[in-house]
Structure 1
Amino acid sequence: MGTLVVVTLLATAAPGEAAGLSRDPVAVIYDRDHALHVLDGGATDDELTLRTQTLASSAWAFFRGTSPLYYRDLGELPASAYATAGGDVWLTGDAHLENTGADRGADNEEQFAVTDTDDAWRGSWTWELRREAVSIVLAGRADGRSASQIAADVDTFVAEYAQWIAKFHGTNDEATWRLTSSNTSDLVGDLIDDSAGDKRADLIAKWTTGGHFKDDPQLQAVPAATRTQLVNAVAAYRTTAGKPLKASEAVVKDVRRRTGAGTGSLGRFRWYVLVEGDTTANSDDRILELKQQVDPAPKQLAPNATTLTGGQRPALALRWLANQSDPLAGWASVGSTPVLVKEKSPFAEDLKIGDLTTSAIWDDTVRDVGRLLAAAHSRADQDIAGTGLAYSADAAIDGAITSVSGLQAETRAFATSYADQVTSDWQAYVTAKNSGRPLF
């Protein structure tokens, strides 16, 4: 593994602050990525190579792509003073600003929502609150915001989260609440407006022609055996979708392996499958995305929190965590590879941190993200069958937040310190890459 790189956070810290952490971050990432190299028999090494380049590109990209390192570290760092035994909830698992965006809801109304549940798992709400706060610090630094501005952004985010948890406590409003054009503004409102203007035909024209995928370096042809496995996977998947597809809507017209997409998921198989739409016209075809699933990052902290596995776990979590989420989300296996199946949405407009250009936009956006997280944590509990939670998640969290100002101070300190750690880890990764050290 080479020379041990020891990275230490603060020598002493108050409860919840990062302290006494030492490990070789490159080795931790190597172990995870090497396991994927072995699991896929080297077939995704092109993506793993791209992953090393992406992780080395910036501290922000490094953080986005290393959620397993974050959860590994949480296992050593002091727990939040506001964490409660038995207060575990369903988490998106990989909370950060760019895992939110606008899309068309299942009822055909555009909304702003969480977009990624690949790492969904049950655990402490504080794990996710902290991760989102770290993302705010790193994104703020990337955008050139001052330390005082970033601290204010984190405080605003935490206060908004706590306020909406309190609102949802005892009302059950989280079951129907969501962010739409009627209750948001600035960047999020613009994303929703952009989503409303998107057309399915435009996405189909971008990727396909004449009922087949176009020649594109990001769309690779697959062997005949893989095509057969994909056809079988779609046939098995269609009845698992929230809105099951009819057999006529699951007719496979073409398949490709999609490369170059994502950050944390780089190195996993991802396939696009073109299926027949509502009519035989090519313009209303659908593109299904089948993404390989592995153990989610938070599982290492709570290995027995749920028995859900494979693509079923993130598909069900998406339904539970986001109101009016993708009705086509479901699951299957491509051969022995478990996959989450979702539509490649024609209406998706992802939030990008480079679009956070003013303090007013930052303020509105972190408020909206705080609301989304509060609603997600509040939804997936005793009110929805199958979650495994026999209590009110919002009541448990609200009871745990005994001091909003205390939670703000603790989260701010953790996020600032851990963002420093991420930057140091990223620099160690860049050094390892430049020295030719094996990274997967």
Structure 2
Amino acid sequence: MTTVRVRPHPAPDGDGAPPGDAVFASAWRRRRLTVEERLARGQAARRDAPRSGHGRWEPAPDRPDPVALLEQQARTRVPELLPIRYGRMLESPFTFFRGAAAVMSADLVGTPRSGVTVQLCGDAHLSNFGLFGSPERRMLFDINDFDETLPGPWEWDVKRLAASFEVLGRERGFSPEDRHAIVVAGVREYRDRMRRAAGMSGLQAWYEHLEAGELLELVRREVAVRRVGRRDARAQEDMVAKARSRDSTRVLARRTGLVDGELRIVADPPIIVPIEDLARPGTAWEDPAPAIKKLLASYRRTLSHQHHPLEEYRYVHAARKVVGVGSVGTRCYILLLVGRDDDDPLFLQVKEAAPSVLERGLGPSAYRNHGQRVVVGQRLMQAATDIFLGWQRITGLDGVTRDYYVRQFHDWKGSADVDSMRVAGATLYARICGATLGRAHARWGDRIAIAAYLGKGPAFDRAVAQFATAYADQNERDHAAFAAAVAAGRIEARTGT
């Protein structure tokens, strides 16, 4: 296994260690605490941060301009792609929320916290959960985006997830009562999963996972008791079926063609641009192939297996590909490799890893390479991780050195169709995401202290639902301000791309 080296610091109890190291120090502290002491720690936190206090949200008097935060984030991104990002965010308050993790992370700094640190996803909105294939070829449901991962207060992930369901409910036209019930169901499931994890051994909590078969069985039980209709059940079944078809072979058929007898990724600008169309003559990237092969050899050393199937594949072609909403404008590439022949493809995604948006409030990461930060965070939170997950530092086409992480592209990836969700389906999905987030936090955070803080009753659930309503109002105001900035020509948005 790859050795992770963390810069040594003194313990962070008032003597200057950066917050980014808190997860490691808290692990050592936890080993010195008994179960009773950990329970007492969580219960005592209620005095300093009452659970009802999580329901309040008011923007700070000096709250940063949300558009200015997005403009700051854009300074390091590909300029010609920014209008695409802004166009996608302009579509609705829901798509704006997806792309505005930097805005919400700045707002969360002033909210109550219990003082218990976990490895955060950092952007735990509902669209960042889904299906993927494990190395053992099981289909799992889990968090699937870790660009912003960093150690921090567990409440931040819970509130971002809860707010995303409130915003979705408004997008879908659900009543206020239904939206409240959906959010409460998701937070309650987080609390129940954390309380269940508190009674587990360390290994039991670490090995917890949700397989696609278990997910479908849960859906069938919900149909049987008529909490979910057949239409919502079919949506979950379709998600699983579609995910199984998404692999490198499918990408090969959809995205490649033969050029002079050689496989090439087909251009579809501005979404897909072949690497040779980006490379500038007279630079190290004038002939991209040697540079990419060298970088692949270096990336290989960050993988967690001594002997790895990557060694059976050779590089063929690369292209820049626009992905997501919040990620648009970051440098993201897909690489095509082939094994025994052209019918044995492997697609890798090489994605830029910028500093986490959480660093504004939590301090810098303990890792010098942000690609490594993403990889380590993913390995800590996911029940199983891609065997191709690694990192690299690359001097790019523009001569600037940046951090990247690498993973397999489209390996049984699947996500819920949020555009067609009804109330029952959204409620079930909120429960599944809440349970998944609880399992991820319990792997490394002090699950016993968090469970003690949450307690048996619904006080925290109701408070977070109240917060979600207030923050969705704020998100709508921010979206309106963003739309006004577009209308005024302050920023350019390109819709429909």
Give the alignment partner of residue 68 of structure 2, picking from 16, 27, 50.
27
Paired residue secondary structure (1:122):
strand
Rounded to whole Å, the distance in 2 between the matches of 1:378 and 1:18 is 26
Aligned-residue offset at 1:216: 2.5
Rounded to whole Å, the distance in 2 between the matches of 1:29 and 1:199 is 33
Aligned-residue offset at 1:182: 2.9
Matched, 1:268 2:321: no
Give the alignment partner of residue 116 of structure 1, picking from 132, 145, 150.
145
Aligned to 1:64: 98
Give the partner amino acid of 1:291: K
TM-score by length of 2: 0.76
Aligned to 1:7: none
Q: Deviations over 1:77-114 (max 9, x none)?
A: x31xxx322x1000111011111111211210112111
Rounded to whole Å, the distance in 2 between the matches of 1:316 and 1:188 is 30
Matched, 1:330 2:390: yes
Aligned-residue offset at 1:295: 0.7
Give the partner amino acid of 2:298: A
Matched, 1:257 2:320: yes
Rounded to whole Å, the distance in 1 between the matches of 2:64 and 2:267 is 44
- Does 299-308 or 124-133 show the bigger shift? 299-308
Matched, 1:178 2:218: no
Give the partner amino acid of 1:130: K
Q: Deviations over 1:259-280 (max 9, x none)?
A: 3x11111111111111123x2x
Give the partner amino acid of 2:273: Q
Give the partner amino acid of 2:208: W
Paired residue secondary structure (1:282):
coil
Change (3 A) 1:20 1:332: closer
Rounded to whole Å, the distance in 1 between the matches of 2:246 and 2:351 is 24
Paired residue secondary structure (2:330):
coil
Aligned-residue offset at 1:250: 4.7
Change (3 A) 1:294 1:174: same
Aligned-residue offset at 1:242: 3.5
Aligned-residue offset at 1:361: 1.3
For 1:424-435, list aligned pairs within 5 A: 424-435=477-488
Aligned to 1:372: 436
Aligned-residue offset at 1:75: 2.1
Change (3 A) 1:439 1:406: farther
Paired residue secondary structure (2:472):
helix
Give the partner amino acid of 2:137: N
Aligned to 1:307: 367
For 1:274-423, list aligned pairs within 5 A: 274-277=336-339, 279=340, 281-304=341-364, 306-307=366-367, 309-335=369-395, 336-356=401-421, 358-379=422-443, 381=444, 393-402=446-455, 404-423=457-476
Q: Deviations over 1:138-182 (max 9, x none)?
A: 011111111100000011001100001111114143322222233
Rounded to whole Å, the distance in 1 between the matches of 2:310 and 2:85 is 37
- Does 286-295 or 192-201 show the bigger shift? 192-201
Answer whether contact 1:99 1:351 (CA < 8 A) is retained. no
Rounded to whole Å, the distance in 1 between the matches of 2:144 and 2:428 is 19
Rounded to whole Å, the distance in 2 between the matches of 1:301 and 1:395 is 25
Rounded to whole Å, the distance in 2 between the matches of 1:305 and 1:405 is 34
Give the alignment partner of residue 236 of structure 1, picking from 298, 303, 316.
298
Answer whether contact 1:181 1:193 (CA < 8 A) is retained. no
Rounded to whole Å, the distance in 2 between the matches of 1:346 and 1:177 is 21
Aligned-residue offset at 1:246: 4.9
Paired residue secondary structure (1:297):
coil
- Does 405-414 or 206-215 show the bigger shift? 206-215
Answer whether contact 2:248 2:409 (CA < 8 A) is retained. no
Aligned to 1:3: none
Rounded to whole Å, the distance in 2 between the matches of 1:433 and 1:397 is 42
Aligned to 1:36: 76
Give the partner amino acid of 1:207: R
Rounded to whole Å, the distance in 2 between the matches of 1:84 and 1:293 is 29
Give the partner amino acid of 1:123: G
Size of the alignment, in residue pairs?
400
Rounded to whole Å, the distance in 2 between the matches of 1:20 and 1:273 is 43
Change (3 A) 1:142 1:304: same
Answer whether contact 1:200 1:283 (CA < 8 A) is retained. no
Rounded to whole Å, the distance in 1 between the matches of 2:386 and 2:210 is 15
Matched, 1:134 2:198: no
Aligned to 1:146: 175
Question: Considering only CA atoms, is the larger Rg found in Structure 1 or Structure 2?
Answer: 2
Aligned to 2:53: 15
Answer whether contact 2:246 2:411 (CA < 8 A) is retained. yes
Give the alignment partner of residue 123 of structure 2, picking from 94, 99, 117.
94
Answer whether contact 1:230 1:334 (CA < 8 A) is retained. no
The structure that is helix-richer by fraction is: 2
Rounded to whole Å, the distance in 2 between the matches of 1:346 and 1:84 is 37
Paired residue secondary structure (2:212):
coil
TM-score by length of 1: 0.86
Aligned to 2:6: none
Change (3 A) 1:125 1:64: same
Structure 1 residue runs of 5 or longer lacking an equivalent are: 1-13, 38-43, 382-391
Answer whether contact 1:111 1:192 (CA < 8 A) is retained. no
Change (3 A) 1:177 1:248: same
Paired residue secondary structure (2:303):
coil
